[in-house]
DNA sequence: GCCGTTTTCGGCCCGACTGTTTTCAGTCG
């Protein structure tokens, strides 16, 4: 039973309360508690033990008791009661876009529908359309939405979304009268996965511009089409929301549409406490009714006496109080990165020779880079034997000697075996400039074992960093069970860096982990794990994740100059 | 159910669009 399990139980309570048409405020309380818990890196069990649970904003005494009940008995009596009122499938009906708690409840109560299959039949045979207040269009919309769900056109990784949006933005350039186009939402916040794309702009004639947008050739389906807001599905299955306002309100529009929901709610609550009401058109003084418009975000936040909050921080995780106190972090930027310390070549599972990868790093203006091919334990990745890595050491040194404009380091991504020992003996590791240790097997080990395995690797004085520390693959593999608090403590103690792996499918560490690591004094390192030159460009995703984790340049190892990096590498081991 | 730099009670973000309606509830972001 970990934080995610408990959060899921609380979220289920919220969903069932929605079905019951309970007070929206109670529902939000459970939703907020679930979210607050999943933003915690400290294990819920230790939070209970130390009494830290109620100190978390959004968890009060009531929900704290519920969590304790779940941990001690494995059940929440209240949740079991709620479950007995609605078959499991009824809750699932709400996963269909456009189907909320009201409709789900009605089709269950009035039509006896208990799952998605029965729902489809009811939509097809006319029973859904026959309900008072509904009609044929509603039924058709349900059927089309179910089709989309089946095609799994839901969330995509940011690595897929960014190129698609860049392509779409290019197509939008020619829409007449449309200016200042910019993507917003989770994409602008660089969230690891994107549900739908938000695109904002200004126009003197929004109606005409909207008409052009919804009739673009890329549009497969129009979900809604209004004067200032439209929603479409593109031919590659992406949902795109367009929002247009007049130029004078552009600042508040961009702010409004960058979100997140939690950030916006907290910001509006904060504004209300100051007697101001916020919306996408500006700020209204509640008493006098005076309205202010903002053409840029800086002046919008300034009108609330707040520093400009970078989009990556707008997740409702304390950024508003930090902005009030003028204590926002000075976030690391792409330009701060001086080198890539996790790069593969054809010596293991990369595609190109050492020289080509060095060249690619050179072209990106790096001061240094490190070759880190796999060790032999990774059979499928063509890992190097001891004999082969000794040869590669010579090969890399040769390339390094011939490179005057970039420092080329020789390293390894050494496999952490199931018992925490490493795939190369110390006599080899000590000859390397840089060692990334990673888990590539035995993902199903119990948490205690996995935690000790990683800590043991960190205790090896030759290990400089842990690669992709939680092992997750977005949409494919959950993170392995590991006590991250213990990993952070060991990383701080052994002065081992933790990687933010920039591969869009990994993005590991994730933001909340990166932030916790930073707070505990753990050094981060942003690497691409490149297997081909183009992968080096993924660094932007890793930097974005670091920014979402509130990281400053001083928290990121590869912002150091080569000289400072060398000094760091000479640090004392455990 | 949670929360408090006016509050331990009385609040709790805000607006656009749709479908089926003659005025609004539901859903979404």
Superfamily of domain A251-324: DNA polymerase, thumb domain (3.30.210.10)
Segment A121-132, tens digit of pLDDT: 999 999 999 999
Instruction: Tell me which residue of A422, A500, A510, A487 sits closest to A461, measured CA to CA.
Output: A422
Query: How far does CA A327 lie from the centroid of its chain?
Result: 23
Report pLDDT digits (tens) over A68-81: 999 999 999 999 99
How many Å does it take to go from CA A129 to C1' B19? 11
From-to residues of CATH 3.20.20.140 in chain A: 334-569
Nucleotides of B under 7 A from a protein CB: 1-4, 6-7, 11-21, 25-29
A551, A520 contact by CB (below 8 A): no
Which nucleotide is the nearest neighbour of A196, by CA and C1'? Answer: B29
Query: Distance between CA A377 and CA A412 in Å, rounded?
Result: 12
- Indicate left, alpha or beta for A49 from its phi (over 0: left) and psi (-120 to 50: alpha): alpha
Chain region(s) in chain A for CATH 1.10.150.110: 3-152
Residue A420 CA to residue A435 CA, distance in Å, equals: 15
The closest nt to A231, taking CA to C1', is: B17
Mean pLDDT value of segment A538-545: 98
Q: How far apart are CA A408 and CA A565, in angstroms?
A: 13
> Using one digit for the tens of pLDDT, what is the confidence trace for A323-337?
999 999 999 999 999
Nucleotide B8 C1' to residue A331 CA (A): 39
d(CA A196, C1' B25) / Å:
25
**Residue A523: predicted pLDDT:** 98
Name the residue closest to B7, CA to C1': A273
User: Is residue A506 within 8 Å of residue A529, measured between CB atoms?
Assistant: yes
Q: Quickly count: other Cβ atoms within 10 Å of residue A570's Cβ.
A: 6
Q: Does A355 score more than 90 pLDDT?
A: yes
Residue A25: nearest nucleotide (C-alpha to C1'): B12
Q: How high is the pLDDT of residue A152?
A: 61
CA A444 → C1' B25, Å? 48
pLDDT at A317 over 50: yes
Distance B24 C1' – A57 CA (angstroms): 36
Share of chain A above pLDDT 90, in %: 85
* Residues A45, A29: Cα–Cα separation, whole Å: 21
Give the separation between CA A381 and CA A372, rounded to whole angstroms: 13
Q: Which nucleotide is nearest to A62 (CA to C1')?
A: B1
- A209-213, A221-225, A548-552: range with lowest mean pLDDT: A209-213
Protein residue closest via CA to C1' of B28: A98
State mean pLDDT over A51-67: 94
Answer yes or no: is pLDDT of A381 > 90: no
Question: Domain A3-152: which CATH class?
Answer: mainly alpha
Element containing residue A169 per DSSP (H, E): helix A158-172
Task: Please give the backbone phi and psi of residue A233, each rounded to the nearest 5 degrees, phi first.
Answer: -110, 130
SS3 at position A431: coil
Q: In DSSP terms, which residues pair with A374 in a beta bridge?
A: A413
Give the highest mean pLDDT range of A153-162, A236-245, A452-461, A475-484. Answer: A452-461
Question: Nearest nucleotide, C1' to the C-alpha of A324?
Answer: B5
Residue A233 has pLDDT above 60, yes or no: yes
- DSSP 8-state symbol, A86: S
Residue pair A102/A112 in contact by the 8 Å Cβ criterion: no
pTM: 0.94
Radius of gyration of chain A (CA): 26
Q: Which two tokens stand for residue A336?
A: 């701060």
Which nt sits closest to A94, CA to C1'? B27
Query: What percentage of residues in chain A have a pLDDT greater than 70?
Result: 99
Rounded, the Å distance between the CA of A441 and C1' of B23 is 62
Residues of chain A with CATH 3.30.460.10: 156-245
Rounded-to-integer distance, Cα A195 and Cα A240, Å: 9
Question: In the β-sheet with A465-466, what is the strand arrangement from edge to edge?
Answer: A339-343, A368-374, A407-415, A434-438, A465-466, A497-501, A524-527
Distance A272 CA to B6 C1' (A): 13
Rounded to whole angstroms, the distance from the CA of residue A6 to the C1' of nucleotide B24 is 38
Query: Longest Cα pair distance anywhere in chain A, in angstroms?
Result: 79
Query: Quick one: angle between helices A3-19 and A24-38, nearest 10?
Result: 170
Where does residue A200 fall: left (phi above 0), alpha (psi -120 to 50 degrees), or beta otherwise? beta
pLDDT tens, position by position, A275-300:
999 999 999 998 888 899 999 999 99
A264: nearest nucleotide, CA–C1' criterion: B13
A238 alpha-carbon distance from chain centroid = 18
Among all strands, which nt has the closest C1' to A140 (CA)?
B19
pLDDT bracket for residue A86 (50, 70, 90): very high
Concatenated DSSP letters for A453-511?
A: HHHHHHHSTT--EESSTT--BTTTBPPPP--HHHHHHHHHHHT-EEEEE--TTT-BS-H
The answer on pLDDT for A574 being more than 60 is no
State which residue has its Cα closest to the C1' atom of B27: A98
CA of A244, C1' of B24: distance in angstroms: 25
Residue at token pair 């990673």 = A438
Please tell me which residue lies nearest to nucleotide B5, judged from CA to C1': A273
pLDDT band of A153, cuts 50, 70, 90: low
Q: Distance, angstroms, CA A140 to C1' B20?
A: 14
CATH for A156-245? 3.30.460.10
**Distance (Å) of CA A287 to CA A130, A252, A273:** 47, 20, 12
Mean pLDDT of A445-464: 97
Could you tell me where in chain A the CATH 3.30.210.10 domains are found?
Answer: 251-324
Please state which of the four CATH numbers 3.40.630.30, 3.30.160.150, 3.20.20.140, 2.70.180.20 is assigned to the domain occupying A334-569.
Answer: 3.20.20.140
């Amino acid at each position: 039973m970990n934080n995610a399990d408990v959060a899921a139980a609380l979220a289920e309570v919220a969903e069932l309360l929605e079905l019951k048409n309970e007070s929206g405020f109670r529902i939000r309380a459970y939703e907020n508690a679930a979210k607050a818990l999943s933003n915690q890196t400290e294990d819920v069990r230790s939070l209970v033990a130390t009494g830290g649970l109620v100190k978390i904003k959004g968890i009060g005494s009531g929900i704290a008791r519920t969590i304790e009940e779940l941990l001690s008995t494995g059940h929440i009596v209240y949740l079991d009661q709620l479950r007995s009122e609605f078959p499991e499938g009824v809750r699932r009906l709400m996963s269909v876009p456009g189907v909320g708690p009201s409709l789900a409840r009605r089709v269950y109560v009035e039509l006896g529908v208990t799952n998605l299959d029965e729902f489809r039949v009811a939509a097809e045979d006319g029973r859904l359309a026959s309900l008072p207040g509904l009609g044929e269009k509603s039924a058709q919309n349900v059927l089309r939405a179910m089709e989309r769900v089946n095609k799994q056109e839901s969330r995509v990784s940011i690595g897929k979304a960014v190129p698609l949006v860049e392509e779409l933005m290019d197509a939008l350039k020619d829409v007449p009268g449309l200016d200042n186009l910019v993507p917003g939402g989770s994409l602008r916040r660089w969230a690891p996965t994107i549900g739908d794309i938000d695109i904002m702009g200004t126009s003197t004639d929004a109606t005409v511009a909207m008409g052009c947008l919804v009739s673009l050739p890329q549009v497969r389906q129009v979900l809604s089409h209004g004067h200032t807001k439209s929603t479409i599905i593109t031919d590659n299955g992406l949902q795109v929301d367009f929002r247009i306002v007049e130029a004078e309100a552009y600042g508040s529009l961009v702010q409004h549409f960058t979100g997140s929901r939690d950030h916006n709610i907290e910001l509006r609550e904060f504004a209300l406490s100051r007697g101001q009401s916020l919306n996408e058109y500006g700020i209204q003084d509640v008493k006098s009714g005076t309205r202010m418009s903002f053409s840029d975000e800086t002046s919008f936040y300034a009108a609330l006496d707040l520093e400009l909050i970078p989009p990556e921080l707008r997740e409702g995780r304390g950024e508003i109080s930090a902005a009030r106190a003028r204590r926002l972090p000075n976030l690391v930027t792409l330009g701060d990165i001086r080198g890539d310390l996790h790069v593969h070549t054809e010596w293991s599972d990369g595609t190109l020779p050492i020289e080509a990868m060095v060249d690619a790093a050179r072209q990106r203006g790096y001061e240094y880079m490190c070759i880190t091919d796999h060790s032999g334990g990774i059979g499928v990745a063509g890992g190097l034997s001891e004999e082969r890595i000794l040869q590669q050491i010579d090969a890399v040194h040769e390339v390094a000697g011939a490179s005057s404009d970039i420092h080329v380091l020789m390293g390894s991504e050494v496999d952490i075996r199931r018992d925490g020992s490493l795939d190369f003996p110390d006599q080899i590791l000590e000859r390397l400039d840089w060692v990334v240790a990673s888990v590539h097997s035995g993902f199903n080990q119990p948490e205690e074992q996995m935690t000790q395995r990683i800590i043991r690797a960190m205790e090896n004085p030759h290990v400089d960093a842990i690669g992709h520390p939680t092992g997750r693959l977005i949409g494919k593999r959950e993170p392995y069970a590991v006590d991250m608090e213990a990993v952070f403590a060991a990383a701080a103690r052994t002065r081992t860096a933790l990687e933010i792996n920039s591969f869009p499918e990994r993005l590991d560490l994730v933001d909340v982990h990166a932030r916790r690591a930073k707070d505990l004094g753990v050094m981060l390192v942003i690497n691409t794990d490149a297997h081909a030159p183009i992968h080096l460009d993924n660094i932007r995703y890793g930097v974005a994740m670091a920014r979402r984790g509130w990281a400053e340049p001083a928290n990121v190892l590869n912002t150091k100059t080569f000289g400072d990096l060398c000094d760091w590498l000479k640090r004392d081991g455990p």
